Structure 1
Amino acid sequence: MTPEAGAFDLKAYHTDQGEGFSNAVEGWRWYLPVMVTWYGIVAELPDFSTTIPEHVFDVAPNTKITSKVRFSLNADHPQPETARLSLVHKVGNNEYPVTLPVTEALFQPGETKEYDFTVTSQHTNTEIISRIEPVSTPTDANRDNNEDIAHIEVQAYDIAIKIQPLKTNWVIPDNSVLVESTVTVRRKDNFPGTLPVKVTINGPGGPKVHTLNLGPKEIKQYPYNFNAGPGTYTINGEAWPANDSWTDVYPQDNKDSVTITVKKMNLPETDRKIRVGL
């Protein structure tokens, strides 16, 4: 019998150099290559979490907010773990880093680290976002608690005034006309409570002052009329807080002004008389 290529001769391998084997005995061992996959023990993933205890801040614009943020590692994790920490102030679509004492920290199982932070409110509602990510493992056991969000809700009180004349250009056949306008004062914000407002109107009809209280989204209107001959006339209006109990967030629309022109109609001489023929 002829052995196949790669067969192992048992007689040649035997320590007794073939002793114990008859010369008539032939034996070979064949080897078949196989792939062996090792399945090790999978390391347990850490469960980091973060929270901002105060989730809502009701403040005025440009207010400094000081609060706390917490980062934790689950208590039943078998070993210490390192994590990356971050805190941002999200304004619109932009995220601005908020300073923390550290950006990486080593956590013992069950440990919570707490840090103070300070941000400044804007003129619109914004968000504070905290995040934590493991350093030594590719992911976290529960990513749902790797981020927390707190909301800054700005008490942006805002009123506006608008002067709306019936017409800005008058052409009249007579010597005068009643020029009519409406002054509208409205509250643009929707925060609870009423705001004391002082409205001042100046123009050819004389000064007018109104003091009122405006509720959320409320609108008040006042007529401002005067008799006018040919000429150019200006009406100015302003609406401001009646006291220092509140501040208007957008003063650009707390003033308004309109110019009105009155002209005498030019009639031919023959059209100025009424002729009656009998």
Structure 2
Amino acid sequence: MTTSTITGTPWHPEDEQVDCASVKALRREMKKCINELKKSPFYRDFQIQFQSSPISRRIQRLLGSKSKMQMVIYGIGSISECKSSQLQLSLAILMKKDFIWVGEIEVFDPILSKTEIKVLESLDCLVLYVNEEGRRQALEPTMFFMPHCDIGLFNNLLEANWKPNLLSNVFIFGNSLDGHLETLFYGWEDNTKRKFIWPVLGHVLAAETFTNEFKMRAITYGGSHRTGKVSHSKNKKRTGKDTSDFQEDCEHSFYGLAWHVFSPLTETVMGLMRWYVREVLFRL
């Protein structure tokens, strides 16, 4: 059951036909990916990190008397073309199986094909036929699963929930907002550029003042640590590589992620924070 308000533009996949053979092949591929991830050092460490971090207690407080919260996946990408998309979807599905508080999963990405939709539905995911552009109001506790999504989507989500009773229901798993903003503001000393950034990121900037972010610890394999930055692009295509590259694929797919919960005070204070952050931004 949907626990949030859905509004947006009606959407339908562009392709007209479903190839049954492609559906079967992709479903096998997804099942293999889910099983590989479940057995991987990444997933074991992910579970340990979650259980030992303050975020697990925050979720219990967020749920209150409810037993589960809905998961909404935005920007998953093409699971038929992109290994990162397959891995990220696999993580969401494993969370539903292994984390008792995760309820039904809804998915939207405007690039999904009919074949991919069939596979998603076979994995017990509900595909949305409305492009919300991230503007989902959380009437009840809702997890938004958004690894490596554009920061503008984060801003839309926060704007749609810019009231204490709504924002306190929002729980985001996605890129570290601190890291996102640091990257975006590098070299943006020009005041004209700041004026461009404010309408797109104003709510993200203001929410930083009452965001509780819990970064995922970098995961190491065999004692080695990846020190270079990994691209956040969803465009890394499947290459038919063997499982020896699975670790690298995990690093690429889950780099720089964090859990986010919000502790807003009052609507008046939230408005003042937007005004204050805007003033500071243009006076730098």
Q: Same fold (TM over 0.5)?
A: no
- Answer with 1 or 2: which has the greater Rg: 1
Interval of TM-score (by shorter of Structure 1 and Structure 2): under 0.3
TM-score by length of 1: 0.18
Q: Which structure dedicates a bigger proportion of its chain to strand?
A: 1
